[in-house]
Chain A
Amino acid sequence: MLFLILFPVLAAVVLLLTRNEKARSIIVMASAATVAIASILLAATYYGQGLVLFDVGIQSITPLMFAAEMVLAAVLFYLGIRYKKYPASILAVIQAALVAWFEYGIGHDIHATNDLYIDGLSSIMVLIIGVIGSLIVVYAIGYMRNSRHHNPEEKDRGPWFFFLMFVFMSAMFGIVLSNNLVWLLFFWEITTICSFLLIGYTKTEKAINNSFRALTMNLLGGIGFAVAVIVIGYDLGIVEMDRLLEMGAAGAAVMLPVGLLAFAGIVKSAQMPFQSWLLGAMVAPTPVSALLHSSTMVKAGVFIVIKMSPLLGMNSAGVMVMLVGGITFLLASMAAVSQSNAKRVLAYSTVANLGLIVACAGVGTDEAVWAAIMLMIFHAATKSLLFQCVGTAQHNIGSGDIEDMDGMFSKMPRLAGLMIIGLVGMFLAPFGMLISKWAAMASFVDAENIILITCVCFGSAVTVFYWGKWLGKMVAVVAGRENIEKGVERHEWFSTGTLACLAVALCVLFPVVSDHVIVPTVQTMFGTVSVAVSSSNLYIMSAMMVLMLLLPLLFFRKNKKETKHIYMCGVNTGNNLSFTGSMGREVSVSIRNRYMQDWFGEKRVGGIGMYVTAGMIVMIIAYSVYIWAGGAV
């Protein structure tokens, strides 16, 4: 277990020192493979054992972490001053002060017996991080090489890039395996800093601005986390996650710290009103986006919220979490309609889906959490697939705009095929995302939560629309396009193809995954399990998936029919790309989608979301503080 946390750091350091590109790619691949195998082994070893706690027994780790945290805070403070981003500096100082106060005050007397743990949820997270994260890193090898081909004059900063990627993975493992909240906070901050550095990787002005926005917001969330740790230590005299959950379930007054931890999760998972940091993160190289969106960072956010879910429900923290999630799902889906940049559509879709996960966790029933975990798994697989497809497309057609993906089906058939799997995987039956959404919907109905029901129904309708029009672009067969697929790197094909297979396989194996992985996990969290989607229906879905795979084999034949031109009122010039206009002029045809700016424009939707969600968070946190200070529940 420690191996998983420490090995990536080691790999990172080695990579930082490796200047040779060939050697680097070998080390990256070997380390990624090691991490993936180690995570599978870890999950397999502790499979079915419920919660297992570990006493690491090295007392000197905590002070070391504390020292590292102080150094990092100092660095952030300096960077904030240097780039004139004072809020970031101030927040970094506040956070360092909070941590220091805890460490030398109340925290000094509290000792955690079990610093690490593993349970079903952690195992799932370990697999997501280890397998999908590693695939993304492999993809990054090809992507970064390709990037350098496009801008040869740039200095090779590959070592730094891969260093950050691996440190990031290590910190993620730390988050999902730490039982000691102080450790958790440390790893939490490392992910904040890594994402800050990765977003600012290109060092353009925009990248720097966006990276500081991400930093500022996540530091704010981190402060929430730190305050939560202090309150927990002060009130309950503990620093361990398992005991917090235990005492909370037993009825201790934990609403304020749980609310604050959930708040930290909300910021990290880019829920409204904090969605802008994730959208700004698009300036980073595509593998970073894929990593942030699928297996790291935002998943840390939803992880902590799901972790807290047994304590959520119809209480102040629960209401905050579910409403923020539900409203974010609806509004972010709407905002996605208005975007034509592929990465921005993906980003809004991430925000929306995380919203759904957060809402499920907020509802805090066993069936809602079942849906939340399912969503998390499928989202990780499908979203990383889509990001990689878009990244490869961007390199080869020179644009990341959906409107420029005209005729991808003819230009890059294999890539288009992979992308289509990703797209339909996001919104159609019988793919996993849809089944999970269905379960989420059913659990909201069972919780009789009319606001969430409304959000999820309208949100789903909008979701069909924006994926549908993108899908329409991808499937269009456009005449006269050459195949330009040869330039795509081997690493990219391998990684993207594996992800596509993974996404499909997970759908076929859906009932098995549910019965043997998710149900036991929810069982340990809640003691009971009810699944909104009965297993017979899961098998029907699985059968439909197989049918979908078989259909092309059974019915798809080479076209023996005579191919005719498309209809353009009888004036098609004969190439399907233009028609004869007035005065015999040849007019070329281009087909564009609509983006409904005046309905779902980013400003409009984002503005509403900001006021509603920010208002709600402030009110509920203030209320929790009031209750906490008053000492009465």
Chain B
Amino acid sequence: MELFQIISPVCYVVLAPLLGILLAGSDRVITARMQRRKGPPVLQPYYDVRKLMSKERSTVNGVQEFYVLCSLIFMVVTGIMFFAGGNLLLVVFTLTLSAVLLLVAAFSSNSPYAHIGAERELYLIMAYEPMVLFTAIGLYVFSGSFDVYDIATGGTMPILYLLGIFAGLVFILTMKLRKSPFDLGSSHHAHQELVKGTTTEFSGRTLAMVEVMHWYENIFLLGLVALFFFDGTLLGYALGTALCILVYVFEVLIDNSFARMKWQTALKSAWLVALVLGVGNIAVLFAFGG
């Protein structure tokens, strides 16, 4: 284990919220500019969360906040394991655990809106999970290891052999980032058919934790995207960092140019993408001996 594998996760824990704030803030500014608005200051997400923390403490039941806290903790654990260079499948499974815990919090309220939101989120999990697994498997077949550390220092950019899987990952990233057209479970806009979906019944501190969790989650997801460009050289790291930001901007563009689609479309399209790009790419790798 190298020193890097200790520093990097520590940096993640400390810096991810800061970067997450900047990312979410820039997202809002870019979105505003795309819609010919001026938009809020870049630090607006931080102001929002600070305000949520100071709100009157109320809840719909006694267990919800606990579930959300667990979800946040396991999200951070996911990122720590990823940035420590740990096993990618373990990372993926912990991510699923965190996602399911958030849904459990939503389900626990027994509120119609939260329930529908959570159920749609389950559809999304079912839709994107195969592609996420194929991503991990593809990286393994390419590098011979599930460990992020080995993949990142492998000497060759994974993207060169995993173009199909990368495209598939970008596709389902729309769901993971809760962007239109697949923001079915919960979106930033409150005035819609399912109110705030999954997060309808969260308020005050609980909602603030959900926001913080998203900061951590987004930085982790960008890390996953950047991994496709890492080859152990400085250039690779620089390229990965630059391109993951570009991918995020691309997702913002998608967000602003599509209307929300039905879960049926989400499921069908994501599975098709996983089958064609994911399985196809892995089959090609097998055929040509990795």
Contact = CB atoms under 8 A, between A and B. Distances in A.
B69 A555 contact: yes
A475 B110 CA distance: 9
Interface string B58-101: 11111101110110010001000100001101100110110010
A579 to B, nearest CB: 9
Given A445-B137, A477-B61, 5 more contacts: A428-B96, A464-B122, A472-B104, A477-B108, A594-B119
Given A429-B93, A464-B122, A567 B113 contact: yes
Contacts of B286: 448, 450
Given A457-B134, A458-B130, A461-B130, A564 B90 contact: no
Nearest to B203: A564
Given A445-B141, A566-B201, A465 B103 contact: no
A460 B108 contact: no
A465 B96 contact: no
A346 B179 CA distance: 35
Contact of A464 (B57, B63, B100, B279): B100
B189 to A, nearest CB: 16
Nearest to A564: B58
Contacts of A471: 100, 104, 107
A558 B62 contact: yes
Contact of A462 (B63, B65, B103, B126): B126
A591 B115 contact: yes
Nearest to A576: B110
A537 B130 contact: no
A377 B115 CA distance: 34
Interface stretch (A255-263, A316-324, A434-442): A434-442
B86 A540 contact: yes
B143 interface: no
B186 interface: no
Contacts of B278: 457
B195 interface: yes
A468 B133 contact: no
A551 B69 CA distance: 9
A464 B90 contact: no
A462 B129 CA distance: 9
A194 to B, nearest CB: 38
B248 interface: no
23 contacts: A441-B89, A441-B137, A442-B140, A442-B146, A458-B271, A460-B130, A461-B126, A464-B125, A465-B125, A468-B103, A468-B125, A469-B122, A472-B104, A472-B118, A477-B61, A540-B81, A551-B69, A552-B66, A559-B62, A561-B65, A563-B62, A566-B60, A591-B112
A544 interface: yes
A563 B115 CA distance: 19
Given A469-B119, A475-B108, A593-B119, A559 B90 contact: no
B126 A464 contact: yes
A2 interface: no
Contacts of A453: 137, 279, 282
Nearest to B101: A428
A83 interface: no
B123 interface: yes
A505 interface: no
A104 interface: no
Nearest to B125: A464
Nearest to A456: B133
A488 B51 CA distance: 47
A247 interface: no
B26 interface: no
A482 interface: no
Interface string B276-290: 001100110010000
Determine the interface band of chain A, counting residues with CB < 8 A from chain B.
Answer: 35 or more
Interface in A524-583: 533-534, 537, 540-541, 544, 547, 551-552, 555-556, 558-569, 576
B107 A555 contact: no
Q: Which of B63, B122, B200 has the most CB of A within 10 A?
A: B122
A550 to B, nearest CB: 11
A476 B110 contact: yes
Contact of A429 (B96, B109, B115, B130): B96
Contacts of A394: none
Nearest to B290: A448
Contact of B97 (A428, A469, A564): A428
A428 B119 contact: no
Contact of B109 (A445, A454, A458, A477): A477
A140 to B, nearest CB: 32
A75 interface: no
A367 to B, nearest CB: 13
B110 A566 contact: yes
A556 B119 CA distance: 26
A544 B77 CA distance: 9
Contact of A561 (B58, B87, B107, B146): B58
Interface string A298-334: 0000000000000000000000000000000000000
Interface of A: 407, 409, 428-430, 434, 438, 441-442, 445, 448, 450, 453-454, 457-458, 460-462, 464-465, 468-469, 471-473, 475-479, 533-534, 537, 540-541, 544, 547, 551-552, 555-556, 558-569, 576, 589, 591, 593-594
Determine the interface band of chain B, counting residues with CB < 8 A from chain A.
Answer: 35 or more
Contacts of B127: 461
A600 to B, nearest CB: 11
Contacts of B153: none
A476 B141 contact: no
B42 interface: no
A428 B118 CA distance: 17
B233 interface: no
A561 B59 contact: yes
Contacts of A565: 60
Contact of B89 (A438, A450, A552): A438
A438 B93 contact: yes
A567 B195 contact: yes
Contacts of A479: 110
A593 to B, nearest CB: 7
A446 to B, nearest CB: 9
A6 B90 CA distance: 45
B96 A561 contact: no
Contacts of B60: 563-566, 576
Q: Which of A409, A473, A591 has the most CB of B within 10 A?
A: A591
Contacts of B100: 428, 464, 468, 471
A298 to B, nearest CB: 26
B275 interface: yes
A83 B164 CA distance: 59
Nearest to A434: B93
Contacts of A454: 275, 279
Given A464-B96, A555-B69, A476 B107 contact: yes
B256 interface: no
Q: Which of B100, B118, B279 has the most CB of A within 10 A?
A: B100
A472 B103 contact: yes
A448 B288 CA distance: 12
B111 interface: yes
Nearest to B113: A567
Given A445-B137, A454-B279, A477-B108, A461 B125 contact: yes
A329 B141 CA distance: 23
Given A429-B94, A465-B126, A477-B63, A442 B112 contact: no
Question: Which 6 pairs from chain A and chain B are nearest by CB?
Answer: A559-B62, A472-B107, A461-B129, A566-B111, A429-B93, A465-B126
A595 to B, nearest CB: 11
Interface in B165-183: none
Contacts of A576: 60, 110
Contact of B104 (A475, A537, A552, A594): A475
A159 B116 CA distance: 49
A430 B73 CA distance: 14
B112 A537 contact: no
Nearest to B123: A465
Contacts of B282: 450, 453
